[in-house]
Structure 1
Amino acid sequence: MPRTTHRVGAALLPLLLLVVAACSAGPSDRPAVAYHDGEQQVVPAPQPPKPAPVPPLGSPGDDAQSWEDCTDQTRTELGGLPPGMTFSCSRLISTLDAPEAPERGTARISLIRAGSGHVPLVVLGDVGGEPGTTYAARLATQLPAELRNTFDIIGMDRRGTGESDPADCVPPAQRDAIVGFDPRATDRGALDRLLESVLAASQECLLDLDERLQAYDTWRTASDLEELRLELGVPRLHAIGRGEAARLLTTFAERFPGSVGRLVLDGAPDPTRDAIGQAESQAQSAEQAFDVFAADCVSRGCPLGPEPRKVVGDLVERTRGTPLPAPGTSVGAGRVVQAILLGLSDRATWPALADALAAADRGDGAGLASISAPLVADQGVNPPWLDGDLITSCNDTTVRVPPQRTGELALDWVSRFPLFGGAAAQRLVWCGSWPVPQQPLPSPRRPDLPPIPVISTANDPQLLGLGTDHMAEQMPTGVLLRWQGAGHGAIGKSPCITEAVSRFLVQGTVPTEGMACPG
C-alpha cells in the first residue's frame, strides 16, 4: 500500500525544523536548570572521569607458562652477561585473528625472562629494531638491582619478528635493493624501480604468509599482551615500551583499560601526525642526532676530521655510483645511511660508528656492512629485521602515498635533510601496493587510566623529541619527562631517568611533570 502524508504534519514540519534548528544552533555556556517545588536549582555539569590511581604492584601471579633455561643462547646473542645473571625462555600461544578468519588461528609468541622478583614487567622494543627478547635481555643487564629484585623482566618478540612466527619472506635480492636504494634519488623513474622491488617483496610475502600477512600488526599484538597477562596470572600488566612500541602500549590501554598496570613510554611516535608527517619528523630528528654525533666526534679527536658532516656527505655521494667492497657483499649509499641510523641509536657505539665511517672513506665498507647486516641477513636464530618492519608498519597505517607525491616529498626532503630525507621518503613507497587496514589505530585519549610517564629524548635519531612531547600532551594521564641526551631510549642510559622510572615502577611514585635530566 502506498504511503500517504498528512497535510497538517507536512505543514508543521518546516516550523518544527526551524524550532529545532534554533534550539540547537550551538552549545550553551549556561548551567543546566531544574525545578523543585517551583524553585530553580542549578544542576552541576557532569565532570570528566578522574585519572585512576597508580595501580598496586600486586603479588606474583599463577604463571601458566613453561620456562626453560636459555642463558647460554642469550650470552652468545649479547656477547656476554654479568656474573650470575640467568635467563629462561618460553612461547606464548595466542590467537592469530586474521581479517579473513576473525578470532581463529594460532600465533606463537617468543618470550624471555630475567630477574628474581616474580612480579612481571613486560619490556617491548621497536618492531623495526632488534627482536624484543634481545632488547629486553640487554636492558635487563642495565637496570638497577632494585628493579631486577622486584620484577621478572619479560621480553616479547613482536609478531613476525625474532622467533615469533618470523616473517622471513622478502627475497634476498629485493631486501638488498630496498635497504641499499639510492638515498638521494628523487626522479619518478628511480622511485618506480624502488616500487618494483617493494611490489615483488609484498607479492612474495603474500604467497608465503597468506592470511597471516595482515595479522601482523599492532592492533592484534595488543591482544597478545592481554593473552600474556592472563597466562601470567596477574590482574594488571606492568610494562615499558621503547619508541614505536609506545604505540603498542597505548593501543593496549585503549583496548583493555582494566588490564593496565604501571606503564612507561620511553619515547613515542607523534600521535598528531600521519605517516607522512612522522616520516618527515624522523628525518629531522636523525639530522639533529647526527649533528650531536659529529660534535662529539670532533671533541674526541674524530677520525673523520674537523668536518664529519662534509666527509660523510661526500661518502654518500660517491657510493651512489660506486659501492664499497665488503666481505660477501657491497655497501652502496643506501646501506651507508642505514648503518648511520642504526649506529646513532646508542651513544656507546658512536666511536665504533666513527671508525667504520672513516674506514669507508678510505674505501673499506666492512664496518658499515657489519652495522647494517641485521636489516638484510639472519642473525643467529633471528631473521632479517626488514621483513617484520615492512609488514607491520604498512599494516598499521591507512596512508597510501601516490608515486608522484612521493617524488615531490623526496625532492623537498633531500634538500632540507641531506643525509636522511631521501631514506625517510622511501619508507612511504613501501606501503604503496599494500592492502589498506580495516581500521586505524586508536588515539590515546582515555581519561580514566592511571598516570603514565612519557620520556622525551632531545636527540633521538628515530623520534623527534617534540613528537614525544605531543604524545604526553595528548594522553590525558601522560606525565612528561625529558632527557637532554642522545640515542634511542633513555632508560638504562640516563641514571636520572632510570632512577625516576624505577621509583615509579617499584614504589608507585609518579615523577614530577616536566622534570628534565641532563644529557
Structure 2
Amino acid sequence: MWFRALTVLVAVALLAAGCVRDERPLSATGALAWTDCGDGFQCAKLAVPLDHDVPDGERIRISVIRLPATGDRIGSLLLNPGGPGGSGVAYARAAQAVVSPGVRARFDIVGFDPRGVGESAPVDCLDDRRLDAFLALDATPDDAAERAALERGSREFAQGCAAHAGKLLRHVGTVDAARDMDALREALGDRKLTYLGKSYGTFLGAVYADLFPGRTRALVLDGAVDPALSRFRFNADQAAGFEVAFRAYVDDCLARGDCPFRSRDADGALEELTELLRRTDRHPLPAGAGGDAGDRVVTEPLALLGALTPLYDRGGWPMLTEALTQAFKGDGTMLLHNADTLVDRAFDGYSNQTEANMAVNCVDGVYPKDVAAYERAAADLSRTAPRFGPYIAWSSLPCAYWPARPTFQNHPLTAKGAPPILVVGTTRDPATPYAWARSLAGELESGVLLTYDGDGHTAYNSGDTCVDTAVDRYLVTGAPPKNGATCP
C-alpha cells in the first residue's frame, strides 16, 4: 500500500498496453470562477466528466485552490502531496512550507483534491466507528481465527465502498486524475503543465507526462514511485524501506545516547521493537483516558503505524523516541497519536484519506483474489522485513474483494517526447525507496535523476540547500541539474 506523507480507468482495450498518449480534445467546461477563501487564497470548482470516455455524460466537481504569484508570474505550479488520498487543497494551504519564496513569486501555487479525495466527489466506505475497528484489526494473523477476522474486515471494507461509493469506484484511478489535471491546466490558462508531485504524486505526474508529453513544461517528481512494479513487489520494497529507515533511526539514537532501548547495539534495539509489537499483539496498550483516545487501546497494527509515522521525516525522530519510551513503560498514548496522524484521524473523526487510498490503489494494479497469496507474501516478508513486512503484505487484502476491476497494468512509463523531467530520490527514504527513483528516471525517456544522500520521505524544501537550489532553478527556467547529480 502507499502511505500518506504514501489508480486508473481506461478502456479495456488499453489494459494490456497500459497508458497511451491522450491528445483528445479537453472535456472540462469553461473557466474557473474564483472566490476569496481567506489568507490570500482563492477557491473554485472544476466540472469534469465522471467518465472521460463519455464527455457529455455525468459530471463531478474537482475542488481547486490557488495562491497568486507575488512577483513576475510565469504561470501555475500544480501540487500533489501523495497518498493516494492526500488533499492537494490542504497541501497548497501550507504553501510557505511546501515551496520556496522564489517559486511562490513566479508561480500561482495551485492545489486540487483529486477525484475521490477530500472535497472532490469523495469516496465513502465506513463510518468512523467501523473504520476504527478496521484499522485496529490484527493485520499479522497468527491463527485461523485471526485470519478469518482479517478476511471478514477486509471484505466488509470493500462492500462498504461498493454500497456508498458505487459507480465512482470505477473512475477514481490515476489515469482519470491525470486527465482531470490536464483539464485544470487548460482552465488555468497554462499552455503547458508545471508540476510538483511527491510520493504517489510522482506516479500521477509520470502518468500525466506519458499521456500528454507535448503538454508538459517542468515536472518535479520527488520521492519517486516505480510504475513498473507489481503490487506485491511494491509492498516488499516499501517494507524493506521502512526497515532501513528504522535502522538509521536506531543508529542515530544509539550515537546520541538518549535511546529508550536497553540494548546498546542496533540488532538488539531492533529485536526490542519486535518484542514490543508482539506484546501489543497479546496485550494491547492503554492510550490514556479521554481526549482523542477515548476508550481505544493500541493494538499491534496501531503500534506499528505509530512507530513508522515519525520515520517519514528525520525531524520526527525525537517524537519516535518519546513514543517508544512511553510504550516500553506500558503507555501507548503517543503511538496512538502518531498512528492517527498517519491515517488523518482527528478528535471529531476521519477524513476520507484511508478510504480514498484504498480505492485508488485497488484499481491501480492487479491484485490476487486468492487470500493464500497474501499469506505467502507475508511469510516471505517476515524474513526480509520482519517488523513491517507482514503488516504491509496483508494491508492490501481489501483489494482481493474489490468491486471495481483493476484498470492499470503495471509497466514502465516513458513519456516519449516530453522535455526533461526531474526525478528526486532520497537514499534512505522509508516509503519510496531510492531504487524506485533510479528506476523511474531510467524509464522516462527524458528522466533526470537528482540524488539526496539523506533520511526522510522526499527531499525538496526539507532543509537541504543543494536540492532546493536545483529544483527551484529547474521550475523557473526548465533547466535541470546534470543527470546523476548528488546532494549534499
Partner of 2:476: 506
2:16 paired residue number? none
Tell which deviates more after alignment, 113-122 or 425-434: 113-122
Residues 1:496 and 1:129: Cα distance change in structure 2 (over 3 Å): farther
**Cross-structure match for 1:133:** 89
Are 1:294 and 2:250 counterparts? Answer: yes
Q: What residue number does 1:492 align with?
A: 461
Task: State the match for 1:311 in structure 2.
Answer: 272
* Partner Cα separation in structure 2 for residue 432 and residue 391 of structure 1: 12
Structure 1 residues 357-366 or 446-455, which shifts more?
357-366
The 1:186–1:431 alpha-carbon spacing in structure 2 relative to 1, beyond 3 Å, is: farther
- SS of equivalent to 1:141: helix
Unaligned runs of 5+ in 1: 1-61, 72-85
Residue 359 of structure 1 corresponds to 326
Indicate the larger mover: 276-285 or 425-434: 425-434
In the alignment, which residue of structure 2 is the partner of 1:56? none
Contact in 2 for aligned 1:124/1:245 (Cα 8 Å): yes
More divergent stretch after superposition (111-120 vs 185-194): 185-194
User: Structure 1 residues 129, 207: CA separation in 2 closer, same or farther (over 3 Å shift)?
Assistant: closer
**Aligned position for 1:64:** 32
- CA distance in structure 1 between the aligned counterparts of 2:467 and 2:386, rounded to whole angstroms: 32
Provide the rounded CA distance (Å) in 1 between the counterparts of 2:366 and 2:393: 16
The question of whether the paired residues in 1 share the 8 Å contact of 2:85 and 2:117 is answered with no
Corresponding residue for residue 406 of structure 1: 374
Cα deviation, residue 489, structure 1:
0.9
* 8 A Cα contact 2:368 2:400, kept in partner: yes
Asked whether 1:387 is paired with 2:344, we answer no
Distance 1:482 1:166, change over 3 A: same
Pick one of 379, 390, 394 that aligns with 1:422: 390
In the superposition, the TM-score normalised over structure 2's length comes to: 0.85
Alignment partner of 2:120 out of 164, 172, 195: 164
Match of 1:92 among 13, 23, 46: 46
Q: Paired residue for 1:471?
A: 440
User: Residue in 2 aligned with 1:59?
Assistant: none
Report the counterpart of residue 325 of structure 1 in structure 2: 286
Amino acid at match of 2:243: E
Is 1:120–2:87 an aligned residue pair? no
Larger radius of gyration: 1
Shift of residue 363 of structure 1?
Answer: 1.6
Amino acid at match of 2:237: S
What is the aligned partner in structure 2 of residue 29 from structure 1?
A: none
Paired with 2:100 and 2:308, the residues of 1 have a C-alpha distance of: 28
Q: 2:211 aligns with which of 255, 260, 264?
A: 255
Per-residue deviation, 1:442: 6.4
Decide whether aligned partners of structure 1 residues 170 and 453 sit closer, same or farther in structure 2, where only a CA change above 3 A counts: same
What is the CA deviation profile of residues 404-454 of structure 1, one whole-angstrom value per residue up to 9, with x for unaligned ones?
Answer: 121111112122211100121113312101132244366412321100011
Tell me the amino acid that sits aligned with residue 424 of structure 2.
I
Unaligned runs of 5+ in 2: 1-29, 288-292
The offset of 1:89, in angstroms, is 2.9
Following superposition, the deviation at residue 312 of structure 1 comes to: 2.1
With over 3 angstroms needed to count, the CA separation of the structure-2 counterparts of 1:516 and 1:384, relative to structure 1, is: same
Cα deviations across residues 76-104 of structure 1 (Å, max 9, x unaligned)? xxxxxxxxxx43333322221188x6762
Deviates more, 1:121-130 or 1:489-498: 121-130
Aligned to 1:432: 400
CA 1:262–1:346: 2 relative to 1, 3 Å: same
Which of 103, 111, 126 pairs up with 1:147? 103
Query: Which residue type is aligned with residue 67 of structure 1?
Result: T
Q: Quickly say closer, same or farther: Cα 1:380–1:137, change in 2 above 3 A.
A: farther
SS in structure 2 opposite 1:463? coil
Task: Output one character per residue of 1:273-295: Cα deviation in whole Å (capped at 9) or x when no partner.
Answer: 21011110000011001111112
Give the Å deviation of 1:479: 0.4
Letter in 1 for 2:471: V
Q: Is the 8 Å Cα contact of residues 177 and 194 (structure 1) preserved in structure 2? A: no
Query: Does the 8 A contact of 1:161 with 1:382 survive in 2?
Result: no
Q: Conserved in 2, the CA contact under 8 Å of 1:400 and 1:428? A: no
Work out which structure has the larger RCO, using CA pairs closer than 8 Å and 6 or more positions apart in sequence. 2
Q: What's the counterpart of residue 308 of structure 2?
A: 341
Question: Residues 216-231 of structure 1: matches in 2 within 5 Å?
Answer: 216-231=172-187
- Is this contact kept in 1: 2:198–2:458, CA < 8 A? yes
Question: Residue 240 of structure 1 corresponds to which residue in structure 2?
Answer: 196
Measured on the aligned residues, the alpha-carbon RMSD in Å equals: 2.3
In the TM superposition, what is the alpha-carbon distance from 1:173 to its structure 2 partner? 4.6
Q: Distance in 2 between matches of 1:426 and 1:395?
A: 17
CA separation in 2, counterparts of 1:168 and 1:68? Answer: 28
User: With structure 1 as the length reference, what TM-score do the two structures score?
Assistant: 0.80
* Code of the aligned partner of 2:465: P
Question: What does 1:456-467 correspond to in 2, within 5 Å?
Answer: 456-467=425-436
Give the stretch that moved more between structures: 156-165 or 90-99: 90-99
* 1:350 correspondence with 2:317: yes
Which residue in 2 is equivalent to 1:455?
424
Q: How many residues align?
A: 442
Residue identity (%): 30
For residues 381 and 112 of structure 1, what CA distance do their matches in structure 2 show? 24
Counterpart code for 2:480 = V
Offset, 1:186: 5.4
**1:481 matched to which residue of 2?**
450
Query: Where does structure 1 differ by over 4 angstroms across 4 or more consecutive aligned residues?
Result: 186-189, 378-382
Q: Which one is further off, 230-239 or 132-141?
A: 132-141
Which of 105, 122, 133 is matched with 2:58 structurally?
105
